[in-house]
Structure 1
Amino acid sequence: MTAGLLTVKRESVTESSRLRDDWLDLENRASPTVFLSWQWLGHWLHVYQPRAWVLRVEEGARLVGLGLVVQTEERRHGVMKSRCLRLHQTGHKLLDQIWIEYNGFLAEHGKEGSVATACLEYLCNSMTDWDEFIIGAIDADEADSFARATGLHKHLRWEAPCFGVDLNALRRTGAHYLDSLSRNTRYQINRSHRLYSKQGEVSLVRPDSVEEALAMFDRIGPRHLERWGAGPDQSGFANPDFVRFHRELIRFQWPDGGVDLVAVMAGDKEIASFYNLVYNQVVYFYLGGMVVEADNRLKPGLLGHSLCIEDYRHHGFHYYDFMGGNERYKANLGKLHRHLVQISLQRPRFKLKLEDVARRARNRWVKESGGDYGG
């Protein structure tokens, strides 16, 4: 299919022998986050082996866009079936718990809008056997542009703010990270540092080998489970597919600096550990595990993040990204830089319209009654 000057072609991942080389070449001409890099998506293909379609966008003979689309069926409310397309996700709940953020199509720098429009037009006009195109987590403004480009109904499934720390801007001021925080947050961190120092020197420790990196990741598990729980949609450490994905990612990416594991020590005691993705000098905080302290003056998470941020600032990294989530500590430690959403672009199907009417009625009832609906 041709969209303006751009041509969109589709092929199976299994038939795309040059996908890795093409993706890396385009990546070098694009401005992606880690989640649209081969570092993440190549690993996703390797570990989960989804039955994905490759959308290739070309301008003449030049490749300017790529995307991976998976076709699945979703059952909701026990009876309704919806045929779904998903971008860079499998449609299987346990496999998608790795939760891609900053999603979208990979596009040559400056062609992001035209590539997305070309892909969306292709999906709407050349692939007709679907009801919904589910994209997440994606920038909220980009999601709006996707809806405008297709003219489809946009159903908002999930949303969250993103906070982060601009390390380049911090370096330009010549100030330390703590100086950029509110008086109360700074006080809590300094007090925690002082109290932990009584147990021994407070320091950051990184693994010296892949085996040590994997061991550090494994030690995060029990703390993460304690904090978030072992049920559905809670800690990924309760999901073997989640653990397998990240252990293999560490095994392949830690030697090249694609992931960073950091332990925060107070003497011989590990009080916090962090697992971060690293790409193009940007640090993406992915998850962490903190000890639970009886003394609420001890804040291992706040202290640990502040020490890591200062360390990354010192070593020339550009940005420390807390990514999506409205947890209070993210707002205290960083500044809002965008909103993420997961959306469903829905074709005009009667079943989807009926579902939307029921959803609106339910939400109106909840609002008017002051009830609490957990769905």
Structure 2
Amino acid sequence: MKRNSATKSLCPIHSSERVFDIYQQLSKHQPVSFFNSWPWFSTWLACLPDDIDVKFVVHYEGKEPMSCFFLGINRQRQNKLTKQRGYLNCTGIEALDELTIEYNDIISASPKHSEQLISAFLDLDDIEELRIAHSQQLDFTNIDKFYIRKTTKPAFCVALNNFNSLDDYQRSLSKNTRKQIKQSFNAYQGKFGELSLTLAHNTEQALAYLTELKELHQNYWQAKGKKGAFASAFFCQFHQKLIEDYFEQGLIQLIKVSSKAHTLGYLYNFIHNEEVLFYQSGFNYLADNKFRPGLVAHNLAIDWALNNGMSNYNFLASNAKYKKRLANKHDMLTTWVLSKKTLKGHVEHLLRKLY
């Protein structure tokens, strides 16, 4: 017989110790992604403005917590209808969600994550629609309880266990990609001297590298008429605190690629479960397209990963062509929108069909 289930919401700020205890209890059952790890969540909660409505939702079976997640709650008007929306581990506010959570999931003692989330969503009477960004684990295909929409995006990766060396990896790439990598290395070293990869070795140096990365990143994107990721004060605050609090635990990697005469650029990566997760970059672009800083920097970072026991080098969600060219596999990350079949849900569904 199935045990009685119930879903409860806690304030993650006022009930912080209880939230941490439940998270720790449930996260022991299965591996979590870096974006669902406590370092990510604790930094996020510490940086969120006080007026943001985020709940910590716990689904119980009997008296035992079985799953948990954070839920941003937002009342928004769309398609002429106002709905109460919940956002899994996000706020639903664009300026705050530019952090771009990936491999998004719930924390669960049960392997049936999708079923756990459905049960919790149905229990949350005030939430009419649930939005889940960039999830690999969760799947709501053929679920008829909701109106469902979805979009997908690849996360290109290099499975490093297939290779013994950087040369071995490069031989697996297309002839044209190998040519461009060789051409770029030769161009940089011919003009500036031998290139090297330097890791930030303490928090102070990591923050200095981040500052230099930010400047290069912003210069590039603003020259293209874009604002750049670091234009957001919240984005900057989050990553400053994440590095301050967790760099010394070995979870974060700041890489500088340079010669004695030239700084090619920087990579900002996360290290989690023997995987390198490439998150951001800042490059010193030159006019001649023989100089391809991304190809060079990522090849040196992949070389480091191969020599330091990493199993995967993950470029994260993107359709960028260079990531596809450097990868040998990909994950599919799906963004789901689940709408309850209420009267308002029916009306919105019909409006979408019409327009």
So what's the TM-score if we normalise by structure 1? 0.84
Contact conserved, 1:55 with 1:119, CA < 8 A, in 2?
Answer: no
Write the distance in 2 (CA, Å) between the matches of 1:197 and 1:232: 31
Residue identity matched to 1:127: L
Report the counterpart of residue 366 of structure 1 in structure 2: none
Write the distance in 2 (CA, Å) between the matches of 1:231 and 1:349: 44
* Equivalenced residues, count: 350
Contact conserved, 2:114 with 2:139, CA < 8 A, in 1?
Answer: no
CA shift digits 1:181-232 (9 cap, x unpaired):
1111111111111111121111001223312211211112233224444999
Residue identity matched to 2:24: L
Contact conserved, 2:217 with 2:282, CA < 8 A, in 1?
Answer: yes
Contact conserved, 1:84 with 1:134, CA < 8 A, in 2?
Answer: yes
Report the counterpart of residue 132 of structure 1 in structure 2: 129
> Unaligned 5+ residue runs, structure 2?
none
Write the distance in 2 (CA, Å) between the matches of 1:265 and 1:245: 27
> Unaligned 5+ residue runs, structure 1?
363-375
Range that drifts further, 328-337 or 17-26: 17-26
Contact conserved, 1:10 with 1:56, CA < 8 A, in 2?
Answer: yes
Identity in percent: 26
Residue identity matched to 1:152: F
Distance 1:174 1:284, change over 3 A: closer
Contact conserved, 1:72 with 1:84, CA < 8 A, in 2?
Answer: yes
Write the distance in 2 (CA, Å) between the matches of 1:29 and 1:73: 34
Contact conserved, 1:8 with 1:118, CA < 8 A, in 2?
Answer: no
Report the counterpart of residue 160 of structure 2 in structure 1: 167
Contact conserved, 1:103 with 1:137, CA < 8 A, in 2?
Answer: yes
Contact conserved, 1:261 with 1:273, CA < 8 A, in 2?
Answer: yes
Task: Return the match for 1:327 from 320, 330, 351.
Answer: 320
Report the counterpart of residue 69 of structure 1 in structure 2: 71
Distance 1:40 1:230, change over 3 A: farther
Distance 1:218 1:44, change over 3 A: same
Write the distance in 1 (CA, Å) between the matches of 2:102 and 2:45: 16
Report the counterpart of residue 116 of structure 1 in structure 2: 114
Distance 1:358 1:261, change over 3 A: same
Distance 1:263 1:63, change over 3 A: same
Distance 1:334 1:57, change over 3 A: same
CA shift digits 1:315-357 (9 cap, x unpaired):
1012111111100011001133221122210123555555555
Write the distance in 1 (CA, Å) between the matches of 2:162 and 2:117: 36
Deviation at 1:36, TM superposition (A): 1.2
Deviation at 1:106, TM superposition (A): 1.2
CA shift digits 1:224-280 (9 cap, x unpaired):
224444999952211111111011111111111111000111333111210011112
Write the distance in 2 (CA, Å) between the matches of 1:183 and 1:117: 46
Contact conserved, 2:67 with 2:116, CA < 8 A, in 1?
Answer: no
Report the counterpart of residue 189 of structure 1 in structure 2: 181
Contact conserved, 1:230 with 1:238, CA < 8 A, in 2?
Answer: no
Distance 1:232 1:187, change over 3 A: closer
* Cα-Cα RMSD: 2.7
